[in-house]
Amino acid sequence: MASSESGPEGSGKPLVGVYHPLAERADRLRAAIEGAGLATQVLPSHVNGLRPWRDCCFDLLLVNPFLDWQDPFAFVRLAASVAGRRPLIAMSDRDSLDDRMLALAAGADDAVGWIDNLPELLARIAGLLRRSRVAAGQLGAGELRIDLIDRRVERAGRVIRLPLREFDLLANLARVPDRPLSRDALLKAVWRIDFDPGTNRVEVHMSRLRAKVDRGFSWPMLHTVKGVGYALRSRPENSPP
C-alpha cells in the first residue's frame, strides 16, 4: 500500500497517521477522518522498514494490527515505540473484546472495533487529541514552548520570533523530541517536496533556526545527527532522562 498524505503541516490541523493493511479500508478511514476536520497520512506497510513511520510528523497514530502476518501484540508494541508520547489507537475490524484487551495490554492508549461504527472511532480520536497538547495548539519539549495557532515560540520564557519556514521546521522537530528526522522528511513536511531538489535549503534554514533558538542559551537544543538528519533535544545531552 502506497503512502498518501493530505493536509499541510502548517494548516494547524492535527495530523493522524493511519495504517490498515487493506488499502480500501485505509482510504475509508482517511476520508472519514478528513471529513471530521483533521489531516491524515496513510502509512505504508512496515515490513520494508519503519522509516516512513518515524518520519511522519503525526499527532496521533491509528493502526490495525489484526489483519497482517505479524503477531498483534508485537505489532502494537512496535507502533507504541514509534508513537512515543503521542496517542496510539489500535482498531479491529471486528467487535472483539479479546482484540481490544490485547491491544491495551500491549501499550495502546485506546482500542476500538470500528468497521460498523466510524462515529465512535472518530469520537475516540477527538477525545485523545483533546487530552494532548497538540490538540490545544501547543507543542513543548523541555524549556521550549510552541503555540501552533499564534505561531509563537518561547524558550525559557524568552520570545523567539521566527519566519514561516523556520517555524514549520521547528514545529516538526518538536513533534518528535529527542528523535531525529531525515532531511527528506523535513523537505516533505515543510516544503511539500517529495524529491531531493539538490539544494541546501534545509541546511540554510536550520542554520538560521539554530542562531535564534540556541544562541544565548546555556545548551543547544538543535542537533545534527550524522548520517540521519536533525533532532531537537529536550534536555542537555549529559542530563539524566
Residues 194-235: pLDDT tens digits?
887 878 999 999 999 999 999 999 999 999 999 999 999 998
User: In the prediction, which pLDDT does 239 show?
Assistant: 65
Domain boundaries, the chain: 4-131, 138-232
User: In the prediction, which pLDDT does 149 show?
Assistant: 80
**DSSP 8-state code for residue 210:** H
Span 138-232 CATH architecture:
Orthogonal Bundle (1.10)
3-state DSSP call for residue 107? coil
User: In the prediction, which pLDDT does 7 show?
Assistant: 44
User: In the prediction, which pLDDT does 117 show?
Assistant: 83
Closest CA to 95 of 112, 120, 108: 112
User: In the prediction, which pLDDT does 14 show?
Assistant: 85
Q: For the chain, where are the alpha helices, taking DSSP H only? A: 23-35, 51-55, 72-83, 97-106, 118-131, 164-175, 183-191, 201-213
Residues 132-157: pLDDT tens digits?
766 667 888 789 999 888 888 999 98
4-131 has which CATH code? Answer: 3.40.50.2300
3-state DSSP call for residue 98? helix
Q: Tell me the one-letter amino acid at 20.
A: H
Task: List, for the chain, all residue ranges whose pLDDT scores fall below the cut of 50.
Answer: 1-3, 6-11
Q: At what angle do helices 183-191 and 201-213 cross, to 10 degrees?
A: 90
What's this model's pTM, rounded to 2 decimal places?
Answer: 0.68
Closest CA to 72 of 102, 115, 104, 93: 102
